[in-house]
Structure 1
């Protein structure tokens, strides 16, 4: 069961087939092309990892593993520090256990380099579907590095669309995720990371896109400047989740939650603080409504 955060405020806007970015001057809309109606991927399941112990450790990792014969189509993570706003997600990305031949979605998070004495927990969530129901399935990735702030994009091969995304920040004790999601055209994935505190060195970002020939509808519902939710249209189900700050440096604010609930009807996103340029929650939804 999802744990209440106690920081929800009134909803600000609802949009279908668009991504809405809330900025200090008001919401702006990034319109995506409308997709052809298709059925949701058959056999879609959500697998939670279960939470780590609620204690203070510098870094934590959790892996949610897909059932045999399934491929990971998306997923998320939740680093819950009881409202302190200091623990950041450093990774939320798909992977494959080559020994077991099983896909998974892994979440990683860390305390700030200055330390944190209170307890916190981390949980990962995998969205998985039978391999036979995912025509053209392919994972693509890209890396980028810079000092202070880094951004990366990766594009799906021609004829394919993003159905899920993921990202990781390096080094994990000195950098955190600010954003990972699909682009407005849904043919590429993007991610940004930022140095934490006064870390002076190079940081690195890895972005991953999960591509198929399935078409998708992207929707977003804005909650407020550091906490957002994206609801799927009636008749669709969430297959991938994402969100965060703007594609530019969002200041000292990092992702804490990118969450697909068990009903598979929405995505929830929260950050450690309100980012400088606003934020978005993204649900990649597939189904009979476009």
Structure 2
């Protein structure tokens, strides 16, 4: 998978209102480079709404470093992720049914990886212009001397809400953890609205044992999992549908268990089977 050329644009933070159920602290992770790291999840109610937002808030005294999202209750490809982003004290996931508006019930879960406020992290973002392009890709860098420990992306239409006809395809932390690449594309040709992509990087001073690990699910698979090396804990994650844009969309990017790894699920779009080979890719940023 190649990287996309970096482009610099003004930073914009977009806010979407949400109704979510109570957050659940899943478990405390083993001793990590960031002491007291925790995984929290929170789900939206099940229902037929075309757009859902789930927010997993960190407990008092903790800040978010990364997170994920997972869609359930809908057939593969009917609903797609449109946002996975840190919001300071919480992590937000957004998803839409697309322009065809799947009519069944479905729900969305957000996951937040949280760390004590005493640990110094910075969150950086780059937002592209509002446009009618069918594909967009942007890069965001960590400050010199810092390393990436979390990555995210968010799609917005001209009204600030997630656009129905656009989907995330790639949230890719670079191998040297100095920057991340994000990309998205217009899934439904019937969608004619303008949209923009924001990409996010959570950065910190280099952590002990910091490493990026990546695994492909294999040609034609729908899911890929990756485990952190023994003695390390998941701090951030990424994922991709490794195919030509316009054929695969992210439907799940989530931590595994007690922050032992990550998984990514993709689905084919209505544009037909991607040119071979194609596969989901799951990425974990781990430290001890």
C-alpha separation in 2, matches of 1:56 and 1:202: 25
Distance 1:82 1:44, change over 3 A: same
Please tell me whether the aligned partners of residues 149 and 203 of structure 1 are also in contact (alpha carbons under 8 angstroms): no
Please tell me whether the aligned partners of residues 239 and 253 of structure 2 are also in contact (alpha carbons under 8 angstroms): yes
1:280 Cα deviation from its structure 2 partner: 1.2
Match of residue 188, structure 2, among 192, 197, 208: 197
1:139 Cα deviation from its structure 2 partner: 0.6
In the alignment, which residue of structure 1 is the partner of 2:9?
A: none
1:83 Cα deviation from its structure 2 partner: 3.1
Please tell me whether the aligned partners of residues 256 and 270 of structure 1 are also in contact (alpha carbons under 8 angstroms): yes
Q: For 1:163-178, list aligned pairs within 5 A.
A: 163-171=149-157, 172=162, 173-178=164-169
C-alpha separation in 1, matches of 2:167 and 2:111: 19
Matched, 1:122 2:113: no
In the alignment, which residue of structure 1 is the partner of 2:143?
A: 157
Match of residue 229, structure 1, among 212, 225, 230: 225
C-alpha separation in 2, matches of 1:264 and 1:39: 10
Unaligned runs of 5+ in 1: 1-20, 22-27, 29-37, 97-102
Match of residue 47, structure 1, among 34, 40, 49: 40
1:249 Cα deviation from its structure 2 partner: 4.6
The superposition leaves residues 187-231 of structure 1 with CA deviations (integer Å, 9 ceiling, x where unpaired) of: 112111111211234331100000000332111233234311111
Matched, 1:94 2:86: yes
Please tell me whether the aligned partners of residues 140 and 156 of structure 1 are also in contact (alpha carbons under 8 angstroms): yes
Aligned residues: 242
Please tell me whether the aligned partners of residues 267 and 281 of structure 1 are also in contact (alpha carbons under 8 angstroms): yes
Q: For 1:239-250, list aligned pairs within 5 A.
A: 239-246=235-242, 249-250=244-245
Q: Secondary structure at the match of 2:104?
A: coil
TM-score by length of 2: 0.78
In the alignment, which residue of structure 2 is the partner of 1:69?
A: 61
Q: For 1:196-215, list aligned pairs within 5 A.
A: 196-198=187-189, 199-215=191-207
C-alpha separation in 2, matches of 1:183 and 1:84: 28
Q: For 1:2-81, list aligned pairs within 5 A.
A: 40-49=33-42, 51-81=43-73
Runs of at least 4 residues of structure 1 off by over 6 A?
none
In the alignment, which residue of structure 2 is the partner of 1:186?
A: 177
1:262 Cα deviation from its structure 2 partner: 3.2
Please tell me whether the aligned partners of residues 216 and 279 of structure 2 are also in contact (alpha carbons under 8 angstroms): no
Please tell me whether the aligned partners of residues 55 and 110 of structure 2 are also in contact (alpha carbons under 8 angstroms): yes
Q: For 1:104-143, list aligned pairs within 5 A.
A: 104-132=90-118, 134-135=119-120, 137-143=121-127
1:268 Cα deviation from its structure 2 partner: 0.5
Please tell me whether the aligned partners of residues 195 and 203 of structure 1 are also in contact (alpha carbons under 8 angstroms): no
Q: Secondary structure at the match of 1:260?
A: strand
Unaligned runs of 5+ in 2: 3-30
Please tell me whether the aligned partners of residues 80 and 87 of structure 1 are also in contact (alpha carbons under 8 angstroms): no
C-alpha separation in 2, matches of 1:200 and 1:252: 18
